[in-house]
Structure 1
Amino acid sequence: MSPAPAADASVRPARPGDEAAVARIQVDSWIAALGERLGPRRHSAFDLASVEAGWAAAIVQPPTPGHQVLVALAGDRIVGFAAVAPPRDIIALEVAPDQRRRGHGSRLLSAVVDHLRSHGADEMRLWALEKDKVRSDYLRSVGFAEAGMRRELDGPGISIPEQLWHATV
């Protein structure tokens, strides 16, 4: 009898050692979305080591037992991630720009919904970059709507406007 084939696309909880891939995906996604606003310094605009340290802490020492970082895999390569904070917040939902439109975001979102439901959620919300058309189109396609709230984050020499999205679980 031959061994069962391994799934080539999956989602699992993040574990120590995943933080470098998670940080790289986040920074690459931000660079892809912010593009021209970052100007010529786009590849040096974000402190990758600091982003990585933040994700290492979130994976190893989440603020509550309900906080979770999940990673999407293509084979054994991390190609996306999500971070959730019950009862209803999606802190991050990112897929590497070169891995989009392959179902990784949908698999991550499904795992996020399961996790939030298990913590009593009946709705979820997510802050997303305001002018990220790719993300806006995706969020609309999976049932999110704009919540009518906006905020600005301090970025690397720029302000980064975000809008709040929400959906039922």
Structure 2
Amino acid sequence: MSASPADTVRPARPGDESAIARIQVGAWIAALGERLGPRRHSAFDVGAVEAGWKDAIAQPPSEGHQVLVALGDDGEIAGFVACAPPKDLVALEVDPGKRRQGHGSRLLSAAADHMRSQGAQTMRLWALEKDTVRSEFLETAGFAQAGMRRELDGPGITIPEQLWHTDLTPEA
């Protein structure tokens, strides 16, 4: 029995960067919308985000760096995760209109497998501090807050993030 497109997580390939950038900017706008104010739809340079993902896919900084995409029922990219060994996920986003369909869970599982193959024993991810939907998802997936916080400079705002982590070692 073959997998349906919705069951598929695959490595990103050239040409996927437009969908990845659209999903990432859409997720940022959904999470930061009120803080961005009336200019929220022009706050992010989608072209710059796309160029960054094009480089990450075509010329990763190491063999261990990997961008993975999840496909939706329609065969289109529904989400992505970017792995940066030894233990970091630098991005994990699902199209806001395709959430709660298992894409995030499949992406996390594939990322964990990839990170383990690179020798990782833990995995960590920075997430928006007040993103309760993501916090609940991460807790359900076995992540815990690491007690670290940082602030990033955003488009006219400061973006506070918390560090989340999980153990990748098998239970004894």
Q: TM-score, normalised by structure 2?
A: 0.94
Q: Which of 6, 24, 36 lines up with 1:38 in the alignment?
A: 36
After TM superposition, where is structure 1 displaced by more than 3 Å over at least 4 residues in a row? none
Which residue matches 2:4? 7
Could you tell me how far apart the structure 2 residues matched to 1:129 and 1:59 are?
Answer: 24
Counterpart amino acid of residue 84 in structure 1: C
1:125 is aligned to 2:131:
no
Which residue matches 1:76? 75
Superposition pairs for residues 10-89 of structure 1, below 5 Å? 10-74=8-72, 75-89=74-88
Could you tell me how far apart the structure 1 residues matched to 2:132 and 2:84 are?
Answer: 25
1:106 is aligned to 2:105:
yes
Per-residue deviation, 1:5: 5.5
Could you tell me how far apart the structure 2 residues matched to 1:166 and 1:5 are?
Answer: 33
Per-residue deviation, 1:120: 0.7
Which SS does the other structure have where 2:119 is aligned?
coil
Q: Percent identity?
A: 71
Could you tell me how far apart the structure 2 residues matched to 1:59 and 1:30 are?
Answer: 21
1:133-161 deviation per Cα after TM superposition (whole angstroms, max 9, x unaligned): 11001001111000010111110000111
Counterpart amino acid of residue 60 in structure 1: A
CA RMSD of aligned residues (A): 1.0
Could you tell me how far apart the structure 2 residues matched to 1:29 and 1:66 are?
Answer: 26
Which residue matches 1:159? 158
1:83-134 deviation per Cα after TM superposition (whole angstroms, max 9, x unaligned): 0011110111100000000000010001000000001111110001111111
Per-residue deviation, 1:8: 2.7
Could you tell me how far apart the structure 1 residues matched to 2:152 and 2:166 are?
Answer: 23
Which residue matches 2:93? 94
Unmatched 5+ residue regions in structure 2? Answer: none
